[in-house]
Structure 1
């Protein structure tokens, strides 16, 4: 029998709470739902008013994984959806996670949360820029941090503030709050930054994902600024062997460039210590014009 739980006034059917999702650590689905409940105040502002895409992994990271943008069958009527522009599907809609009940409902599906760089009010008008730093072995987090420091300095020269988080996989994400700007313009600026980085640090930075050139370098993926692309949201769990989290980090941690893997049990203590290090992204007063 599926237990019915009341979450902030909404009745939810939460299933298989004892099911182990991450066998490496024995992490259960119930522990995952608890994680999202205690992290909700930090996470929700980052998905607020943004259509979410789900990477679902209901049988754990070694089971079937599938990416979905459409609202799944059985979506409750009280879960908000929004129209989204999609050339192949004129009447497409996506979920918008607005509150704790809709967050817990979505987490019960066992998902990663991914969002575009624009809000539901202004599709294709980005209010943040993202650079995904993806190392090619033997390069790792240390090389990603060196690239992040270079990019932070370069962005600052254009009057832009960068905030860092782990991807929850093997790299880093840099996010920059910007005044709403067409996604194609943001994409062009981000690509120019990656090209400039490759020219400045040719032994370290790549601007395109060329597998032959990848070993020992960091691919600065600028493509996630395209209107149709999405990025893992801050505080989302990832479908990895261990329950790693895409975790906001300080620039002091980037400087130190070590121990930058965080699991779900690490996040509540970090929020107590630092608060939400990504909160400037949700403050319109911190947005700056793209040069």
Structure 2
């Protein structure tokens, strides 16, 4: 029989808590749930009012993995959802994780958490800009750091602040708080900067999706700004061989990185980092930190 627990007044059935999800570290599902509950005060604000997509890996990263946007069958009635427009199939409903019971319910499914750059009340209107820096072997996160620092300085020239985090996989994410802006415009602006980065950094980066161009380079993926795209959220565990976490980092850490393991963080390291730094991505939650994108005339001159 599955144990029943009560979380903030909500009854939850938790399953297979002794199941090893990460064989390389022996990490169990119970430990994953404990991580989610003890990190909820940092994780939940970054999910607030955003429809989430799940990458589910119920048997661990080495088992079957599948991506789902729709509300899973059997979801409790108290788990909130919102209607999300889909251009091809019409509107759909997606989960919105607003509280600890909902987060624990989702964690019991064994999921990576992904979210768009907009909230439920304004579909397709971004309040964040994102760059996904993906290194092609033999490039690593070390090369991503060079690209990230260039992008940070270029964004600063347009009056925008960038905040970095590890992807929890091989690369990095840069997030930028912006005033509400249509997603097609944030995508166009991000593409402009990705092209500029390619011109400035030469063979180090590419903005093109052609995989033949990626070995040894950092792919600056600007397309995750599109309204239909999502990005792994801060503090989510990833479906990787090790229980790595998408972790906010300081710009000093980015500047000082000389080896990939310096910017690889396992779930057991997050509590100490939060004790030291707090949530480095708190500024993304402050509407007063949001800035407008530069006007189109400036973008065209810089293209």
TM range (shorter): over 0.9
Give 1:213's aligned residue: 213
Give 1:285's aligned residue: 288
Matched, 1:273 2:266: no
* 3-state SS, counterpart of residue 6 of structure 2: strand
Q: Distance in 1 between matches of 2:91 and 2:180?
A: 25
Equivalent runs, 1:168-247 vs 2, <5 Å? 168-247=168-247
Give 2:297's aligned residue: none
List per-residue Cα deviations over 1:61-97 (Å, max 9, x = no partner).
0100000000111000000010000123324100000
List per-residue Cα deviations over 1:251-285 (Å, max 9, x = no partner).
00000114100010000100110000001011101
The TM-score with structure 2 as length reference comes to 0.95
Tell me which protein shows more helix as a share of its residues: 2
* 3-state SS, counterpart of residue 62 of structure 1: coil
Give 1:141's aligned residue: 141
Q: Distance in 2 between matches of 1:264 and 1:174?
A: 20
Q: Distance in 2 between matches of 1:221 and 1:165?
A: 15
List per-residue Cα deviations over 1:99-119 (Å, max 9, x = no partner).
000000000000000000000
Unaligned segments of structure 2, at least 5 residues: 295-303
Give 1:132's aligned residue: 132
Q: Distance in 1 between matches of 2:248 and 2:272?
A: 13
Q: Distance in 1 between matches of 2:77 and 2:144?
A: 43
Deviates more, 1:166-175 or 1:199-208: 199-208
Q: Distance in 2 between matches of 1:244 and 1:207?
A: 26
Give 1:119's aligned residue: 119
Q: Distance in 2 between matches of 1:112 and 1:142?
A: 24
Q: What is the total number of aligned residue pairs between the two structures?
A: 291
Matched, 1:55 2:58: no
Q: Distance in 1 between matches of 2:189 and 2:88?
A: 27
Q: Distance in 2 between matches of 1:91 and 1:114?
A: 19
Q: Deviation above 3 Å: which 4+ runs of structure 1?
A: none
Q: Distance in 1 between matches of 2:68 and 2:173?
A: 22
Alignment RMSD (CA, Å): 0.7
Q: Distance in 1 between matches of 2:214 and 2:90?
A: 38
Matched, 1:159 2:149: no
List per-residue Cα deviations over 1:27-70 (Å, max 9, x = no partner).
00000000000000000000000000000000000100000000
Give 1:28's aligned residue: 28
* 3-state SS, counterpart of residue 35 of structure 2: helix
Q: Distance in 2 between matches of 1:145 and 1:92?
A: 37
List per-residue Cα deviations over 1:208-254 (Å, max 9, x = no partner).
12222212110000000000000000000000001000000000000
* 3-state SS, counterpart of residue 24 of structure 2: coil
The TM-score with structure 1 as length reference comes to 0.99
Unaligned segments of structure 1, at least 5 residues: none
Give 1:15's aligned residue: 15
Matched, 1:260 2:258: no
